[in-house]
Structure 1
Amino acid sequence: MTQIFAHRGYSALFAENTMSAFLEAEKAGADGLELDVQLTKDGEIVVIHDEKVDRTSSGTGFVKDFSFKEIRKLNANKKGVKKEPIPSLIEVFEWMKSNKIMCNIELKNGLIPYEGMEEKVIELIRKYGLSDRIIISSFNHYSIVYCYRIAPEIETAPLFIEGIYMPWIYAQSIRAKGIHPKHSAMSDNIFINTMENGIAVRPYTVNKDTDMHRLFNINCTAIITDDPIKAKRIRKQYEKRP
């Protein structure tokens, strides 16, 4: 059965990449979360998508120029009533001790080469005993190959915007157990061939009914969506099948 990963948490209804969005994704019955990590000036791992804090918080400037103490003062819930801090990865892992949810961590190191990010993330994963519940992904494929080298027990998955020829061959060559393509970049046939070759396929960001039907119909490994409730409702129609 296709798993449902909540993209930046339950971001269709709650401020993205906040603890509220993660808690609500779990309440909604998502199988997993997808979140993004960057490093502060003093080397703390924080959960935020953009390199700058401007779009998703009350602040302005680059994540890398804030200390952890400074970034925690910002409000990550710009549109809502309740003030929400930008979470640390530690905070997410502390909460994950109370549930069984999976977590896809996207390393946001394509534009800014955060020094030591891979080591820091892996050290925390091991400290919390979460190696079997985490998938590390990135558009920076050098970074995930490095993660595999230092922590072969943690699953990795390259992210793609474009289609790629025989993606299962590529995944196998970099020792990745999955691929995370843009849902519109590859055909059903390529997804099916990839899965038949033992590589998980978790396309992003799947929000339209027609796209969900398409992927549940081919029994895709997982979908990454902003709306886990809608995804669960549509998935139900496919659960009856043998």
Structure 2
Amino acid sequence: MFDILPSRSRRILVCGHRGHVVDGHENNRPALRRAAELGASLCEIDLRQTKDGRLVVFHDDILDNASTGTGLISQLDYAEISSFRTRARNGLAIDGQPIELFADILAFSRDLGIGLIVEIKDQFEGTAYLENVLAALRDAGMLERVLVSSFDYVVLRDIKRLEPRIHTMGINYHRLTEPALTARSATMDVMNTDYPQFSADLAESLHGADIGVSHYVPPPQYFRLRAGYGLDYLETLDALLRAGRIDLLVCDDVAWAMDFVRACGLTVAKVDAIS
């Protein structure tokens, strides 16, 4: 099973947010491949559903911002979407990639030897959507090598009811009065908190309830600029990692994250090597 508390043995999971995205790719094979080459434990990907009920890997609800297409994914059949190619949000020149089916990305990630965080983005009624997600995970042999994540904690509760073996992660942007109770209410295995809301006491509350702690941080240039004004969050992050407060570090720049956690004396855990 997925080790959600590697900090207890001086290890940490490193996750590429949408893959390794700083070269312009996201949610596609080059982004995942490069993250794996750099040593990532997992990659985060995003799910959307097409008009004809196909699950595709893409972040936005519209195609306009990160592909050669236009329109709402939910209003287009996959046959239409499959003709479009990805493009970089940051203006970098990249070779456009297909917008791929979830099943194909699952198989690709399995063969790369990396785990996945699968973020469910769509809103929906009933359980058919979640049953499709679970069927794809089972068919790919990836059920126990993923975290299913969402901002919608009802989704996390419902998918755990459908498949108790699945591991789930709630995404949190807030300071919470009772982090562990919030996580338990949604049957989360892991809670992710983004910078700057993360804190040591939040991590302690979650660890006290045997809930894994994930932390998303922006790319390093974000912190370099602020360090010039006297705000050095990387010093704080170093202390948090050394103290074992974080189990999963998520970042757009996998190379930087790998170097940072190793400089803190931690071992990067591999999903295929944990039981």
Scaled by the length of structure 1, what TM-score is found? 0.92
**Aligned mates of 1:121, 1:83 — CA distance in 2:** 26
Given the alignment, which residue of 249, 259, 266 partners 1:223?
249
Partner of 1:96: 109
CA distance in 2, matches of 1:36, 1:122: 15
In structure 2, the gaps of 5 or more residues are: 1-10, 224-232, 268-275
Residue 97 of structure 1: SS of its match in structure 2? helix
Aligned pair 1:182/2:194, yes or no?
A: yes
For 1:228 and 1:81, the matched residues in 2 are separated by 18
TM-score relative to the length of structure 2 = 0.81
Larger RCO (CA within 8 A; separation ≥ 6): 2
- 2:7 aligned residue: none
Q: Within 5 Å, give how 1:114-153 maps onto structure 2.
A: 116-153=128-165
- 2:57 corresponds to which of 26, 31, 47: 47
Which one of 30, 35, 40 corresponds to residue 20 of structure 1?
A: 30
Take 2:266 and 2:113, find their aligned partners in 1: how far apart are those partners?
A: 24
Instruction: Tell me, yes or no, if the aligned pair for 1:38 and 1:114 is still in contact at 8 Å.
Output: no
3-state DSSP of counterpart to 2:119: strand
* CA–CA separation in structure 1 for the residues paired with 2:23 and 2:118: 21
- 5+ long unaligned stretches in structure 1: none
Q: Deviations over 1:125-147 (max 9, x none)?
A: 11122121110011111111110
The answer as to whether partners of 1:3 and 1:31 remain within 8 angstroms in 2 is: yes
> Aligned residue for 1:237?
263
Select the residue among 110, 124, 130 that pairs with 1:113: 124
Q: Counterpart of 2:98 in structure 1: which amino acid? A: P
Which one is further off, 7-16 or 202-211? Answer: 202-211
Moved more, 26-35 or 163-172: 163-172
* Cα displacement (A) at 1:192: 2.5
4+ long deviations beyond 6 Å: none
Instruction: Tell me if 1:76 matches 2:102.
Output: no
Identify the match of residue 68 of structure 2 among 58, 63, 67: 58
- Return the alpha-carbon distance in structure 2 between the equivalents of residues 206 and 155 of structure 1: 25
Q: Percent identity?
A: 23
Superposed CA offset, 1:3-59 (max 9, x none): 110000001113111111011110111110001001011111111111111111111
Q: Provide the rounded CA distance (Å) in 2 between the counterparts of 1:138 and 1:132.
A: 17
CA RMSD of aligned residues (A): 1.9
The 2-side partners of 1:205 and 1:119 are apart by 31
Structure 1 residues 160 and 202, CA, compared in 2 at 3 Å: closer, same or farther?
same
Shift of 1:175: 1.7
Q: Is the Cα–Cα contact under 8 Å of residues 52 and 60 in structure 1 kept in the other structure? A: yes
2:179 maps to what in 1? 167
